[in-house]
Structure 1
């Protein structure tokens, strides 16, 4: 399945007083990485809204395993891929390397959501369109 890699330099504002990345900052980086993954696969967040009528792809579950810390000025590589598509959800895996070493493994479950046809003030899960799956299968 399609994989995207991006290099990220750790900024001063990413770090806590001990000069290591404050862990919630990684989750913001992973969110950005998922957005970039969709864009590079040919399906930007704007496309999800305009073409597919979705509201978004919120996270419903996430976790991470941290192995090696990073500090201000370090360069990390975030490799992101969709591991699996379900009816209306999908699983994303992010692997962060620092040099040749695995620094973090992170996991997200996201759901495609749109407006509920019965009540537009509510959100409802939407089946993943086949052509979105195709874009990721092509690699």
Structure 2
């Protein structure tokens, strides 16, 4: 299973007036972490578009569990992995650590999409390429 880790320093603009990370900022971090994970696995946005004819990987569901707050200047580690892959959708889990402690978990369901061959103005789900499945899940 492919796991990507990245360190992020909490910035002033990430925090609310109580100096705690404002929760929507984590969802922006998760979105970025998913893109960086794909790139680290060898599938940049340009590759996805060019090699597989996809338009993107939009999110269709998301949620998080918060355990420990982070504040301005803290360093966190975001650990991201694809937990499961269906025909075109896939589930991503992000675990955020402050040191050794689990600070929060984020969950996303995303879908690979391309242009609908019947109507190029519309999007349509696309099957998850086997090469990508093997890289992320190792099967």
TM-score where L is the length of structure 2: 0.97
Count residues in correspondence.
139
Deviation per residue, 1:63-95 (Å, 9 max, x gap): 000011100000000000000010001000000
Structure 1 stretches of 4+ with a deviation exceeding 6 A read none
How far did 1:13 drift? 0.5
1:79-115 per-position Cα deviation (integer Å, ceiling 9, x unaligned)? 0000001000100000001111110011000000001
- Encode CA deviations 1:103-137: one digit per residue, 9 max, x unaligned: 00110000000011111111000000111112223
Shift of 1:138: 4.2
Cα-Cα RMSD: 1.1
SS in structure 1 at match of 2:127: coil
Secondary structure, aligned partner of 2:30: helix
Whether the aligned pair in 1 keeps the contact of 2:82 and 2:137 (CA below 8 Å) is no
- Look up the match of 1:62: 62
Structure 2: gaps of 5 or more residues: none
